[in-house]
A and B are shown apart, each in its own frame.
Chain A
Amino acid sequence: MSLADHIRTESARLAALCTACGECVRACPMVPYAPGVAESGPEAVAAGLVDVLRDGPGTEAARAWIAACTRSGVCTPACPERIDPAFMLRLATWRAKGALGAAPLIPVKEDPQLPARVKAFARLTMTEEEQRAWL
């Protein structure tokens, strides 16, 4: 199985199970940082999340909520269906960033210099022997 297949399969499975009750949104500590989420209401935001999992664009509020996810994980124990909303958000983040080839739905912040930066710091904090052994 490829990662893309994994994302598609799990997205479809969880979207089918979700009732969009909104308990995950109510539990989320990041709602104050996601524009439009409080105004839209938890049920509508959860429905927008499910739409993203089904290849849809979601709603503006749902996309804002996905973009503000910091993986606090408190949505999962809040789910009355026990279907792991934290993983749903992880799947939605991949999709919204365009991981499956579609145009991104949320801003993508990649650091193209990450590998070089990681190695530059290693040269400052590790001995040459440690760099050879640990990198």
Chain B
Amino acid sequence: MTTVIASDGGTQAADPLSEWMASADERAFLYRLLADVFRREPSAQRLEEIRTDSYREALNEAGVDLGEAFYSTAIDEQVEELAVEFTRLFLLSPGGRIAPYESVQLPDGSGQLRGPESQIVLDYYGATGFVHHDEMNDMPDHISAELEYMAHLVGLESSSWANEKQEDALNAIRYQNDFFYTHLSNWVFCFLKKVNERAEHAYYVGFAELAREFMEQELSELSDRTKQAAQLINRV
């Protein structure tokens, strides 16, 4: 807990590190949430959660309104609807699906499934000590994997703040910055735009919009965050 002497001579208690930790926790949560949204169709349990009042209010505050119809449909029916929509959006091909992979979606990329970009992402995970488990028989550059990876890095940042390992927190922030700008940010926006255009169900429209807002925020803040963290812990 540091005491800051303000220019008017008064003092105010400021605890910058706990604020950093809280914001890291929040970002990690969002990354996990969004990874889950794009990984699989939502379960009944998940839908119940989302339909609580507090969640609804929170979504609204975050700028997402799923619409009345969403909250009044029967859960069983909704699970079915969303399974169909998820399949239509991300799994059914040819002719329509938005293959949620960096190698496919990257503008000026290979456009291929399991393209060279996939290996590069896998190498990135490996180089930073992460193992990709192929249980879902899916690619390392699937949107949910990349979002999950960011969640891990942000989680590392948060636990580093908690353990007062500031250098480690800064290190984790640097990797977030690097991965975001080298990989995720280069394709996630055009991916989300496509989802927004093609999605018909309010759930996917809404969460795609949430994702977009969050990604925009990361885009505009991550590099500043890196510099400020460096300055905060006097690595200049």
Partners in one complex: no
B interface, CB within 8 angstroms of A: none
A interface, CB within 8 angstroms of B: none
